[in-house]
Chain A
Amino acid sequence: MSDTILQVQDLRINFKTYAGIVQAVRGVNFELKAGETLAIVGESGSGKSVTSNALMKLIPQPPGIYESGKILFNGRDLIPLSDKQMSKVRGNEIAMIFQDPMTSLNPTMRIGRQITEVILQHKKISRSEAKKRAIELLTQVGIPMPEKRYKQYPHEFSGGMRQRVVIAIALAADPKLLIADEPTTALDVTIQAQILELMKEIQKTSNTSIIFITHDLGVVANVADRVAVMYAGQIVEYGTVNEIFYNPKHPYTWGLLGSMPDIDSNSDELLRTIPGSPPDLIHPPKGDAFAARNEFALAIDYEKEPPMFQISETHFAKTWLLHPDAPKIPIPEAVSKRIEGYLAKEDQLNV
């Protein structure tokens, strides 16, 4: 758990559209260590998928523009690499699992060939060895009767089984970094739980780092070591999973946590909501992008963008509320009560 394999520094990505330039990612910084899972959470349009696609250099140019920043993978910046150089990284050192297993597999190719294709592309081994490896992979991801399944087409698989195949393809070249973009959103809860278990197991055995993109906070709590909360193209809070869930500092994180109902929450109360909708990133608002939806917004939020305030060695949040001169605003009661409930349950178990 020591060496950093990925450093993203001041990443900015724009898209040229007829309406103007959309600033989809506006200065994102984070790091990832070997064997660690970082979850990126945020609403649609917050830039989480653009960030992850950028890591694989999958942003089409045009309309996309890598405005500035560095993506250091094992110390090497990926942004200036040519397509040819990138194709040695893609699928080999960094692999991706997409959201929809129905569309990310080729319907006209047998499963087996879709896996060996990756192995043969990146490894100098014979076809028969590649086939052996593919069957091993299918076994590893928990597909029964791998020899028979190897010869089948995607339509012969259920949704959960297809996602297992997608994971097998991603693992085919032993990547060091796995990017999973909403890998369980299209699946049922029971299947989702199985896929999450599988990903954690793979991580344990191969020490792969994972970037997990999702909007489901329950899933984040289940898989992540570290969490980045994104809003309007920026990371607004960053910390370990316990810091984000038990000591959240950014009002947007409060909003996200509050808008999820709890198994024990009283259904007579209305859910806390975040009013309004995310800002237009063609003309990002002046100051704090979240100000307009923030019930605790200060006057300065409309004037000046807040810096990242450090709360602990690992915990950062981008809100003026953390400035020493800002009024002390406690976490909204609905959220704090729930956190207390969770922690009280823990205490009981530890007694």
Chain B
Amino acid sequence: MSKKLLEIKNLTQHFGSSNNPIKAVDGISFDIYEGETLGLVGESGCGKSTTGRSIIRLYDITGGEVIFDGKDVHGKKSAKELKQFNREMQMIFQDPYASLNPRMTAGEIISESFDIHGLYKNKKERREKVASLLEAVGLNKEHANRYAHEFSGGQRQRIGIARALSLNPSFIIADEPISALDVSIQAQVVNLLKQLQKEHNLTYLFIAHDLSMVKYISDRIAVMYSGKIVEIGLADDIYHSPVHPYTKSLLSAIPLPDPLSESRRTRIPYVHEEVDESASFHEVSDKHFVYGTVATVQKWKDTE
């Protein structure tokens, strides 16, 4: 595999008072390699969005380290260094209705970052760059003068993607980028993300709760439960040979477009087992790690 682009070490993010904090992210560690897509799944409230937001420095983290391309993301930075970092890492948000400013045209939304970073000062150059970004996401340059309400949900999400791409980032965090869209439009946006990844050698952290889409887009998948990553591995391994009982339960709940198999579906309920302090990641097969104590992981493996 290629080099590590992002290293997350023991990341913790607590909210609320310090004597009784809500542990949204409770000490997680993982790496993201250059050019890959890491899917992050889990139910609402498990901390997956908080993880994404902490990585990109939308929150000041409580503890741990996020290292991007060898540099500490949360370390002290001058304004110039911060800008440089912001160019490298961008985010696509869930709700294409709420994430675009209704008072700005698509062109202004996309080129706002140019003002901040002092790029493309020449008007003509800027227009060309905006047009090429719009074309890259399947819109055309006439769309630059329209406001957000003039676009459909799928088109809005394309504008969100064009904005994320405007500074040529190397890493993009997509926080449920398709869950607000219709099925047929979801496929268009996912295809677009895949195509852009190939063209620009992008690395994605793809956060979602739609597990079939995550399987499709991700190279590796991390499953989160209650602020912790419980299992991480290659997408095929997670889907075909899950070890952690939570992963098994989650997978057993995905409905498939196959009525005959649906009629036999039995959901595996998940009963949370507290693991003690000695819990850590155990490699069960190549690049496939499960969080637990030695005894529990062995037990889960045996019940397979």
Contacts and interface: CB of A to CB of B under 8 A. Distances in A.
B125 interface: no
A43 interface: yes
Interface of B: 43-44, 152-155, 182-188, 190-191, 194-195, 209, 211-213, 215-218, 235, 239, 249-250, 252-262, 265, 267, 270
A263 B191 contact: no
Given A44-B182, A192-B253, A271-B187, A221 B259 contact: yes
B251 to A, nearest CB: 9
A64 B262 CA distance: 38
Given A217-B183, A260-B257, 5 more contacts: A188-B43, A192-B253, A218-B254, A257-B257, A267-B215
10 contacts: A43-B182, A194-B267, A197-B267, A218-B212, A260-B257, A261-B190, A261-B215, A262-B257, A273-B188, A346-B261
Contacts of B249: 190
Contacts of B254: 189, 218, 263
A309 interface: no
B43 A260 contact: no
A159 B212 CA distance: 22
Contact of A263 (B154, B212, B270): B212
Given A256-B184, A261-B213, A190 B44 contact: no
A283 interface: no
Nearest to B209: A188
A242 interface: yes
Interface of A: 43-44, 159, 188-194, 196-197, 215-222, 224, 241-242, 245-246, 255-263, 265, 267, 270-275, 277, 342-343, 345-346
A147 to B, nearest CB: 24
A193 B255 contact: yes
A25 B255 CA distance: 29
A267 B252 CA distance: 21
B255 A219 contact: yes
A273 B235 CA distance: 23
Nearest to B257: A217
A346 B258 CA distance: 10
A267 B206 CA distance: 15
Contact of A43 (B184, B195, B255): B184
Contacts of B258: 221, 245, 342
A249 B62 CA distance: 56
A342 B212 contact: no
B260 A190 contact: no
Contact of B217 (A188, A267, A342): A267
Nearest to A265: B216
Nearest to A242: B259
Counting from the closest, the 10 A-B pairs by CB-CB distance are A218-B255, A261-B216, A259-B187, A193-B253, A188-B43, A271-B187, A274-B184, A217-B257, A43-B182, A222-B262
Nearest to A339: B258
A315 B250 CA distance: 34
Contacts of A188: 43-44, 209
Given A192-B253, A218-B257, A277-B154, A259 B235 contact: no
Nearest to A159: B44
Nearest to B46: A188
Contacts of A257: 257
B299 to A, nearest CB: 22
Contacts of A259: 183-184, 186-187
B119 to A, nearest CB: 32
Q: Which of A196, A241, A259, A343 has the most CB of B within 10 A?
A: A259
Contacts of A44: 153, 182
Contacts of A343: 260
Nearest to B179: A185
Contact of A260 (B154, B183, B195, B267): B183
Contact of A222 (B153, B195, B255): B255
Given A188-B44, A189-B211, A267 B235 contact: yes
A245 B184 CA distance: 16
A255 B239 CA distance: 25
Contacts of B216: 261-262, 265, 267, 271
Contacts of A246: 259
B233 to A, nearest CB: 15
Contact of B191 (A216, A220, A271): A271
B85 to A, nearest CB: 30
A255 B184 contact: yes
A245 B259 contact: yes
B182 A222 contact: no
Contacts of B43: 188-191
Contacts of A346: 260-261
A265 B261 CA distance: 17
Given A273-B191, A345-B261, A260 B212 contact: yes
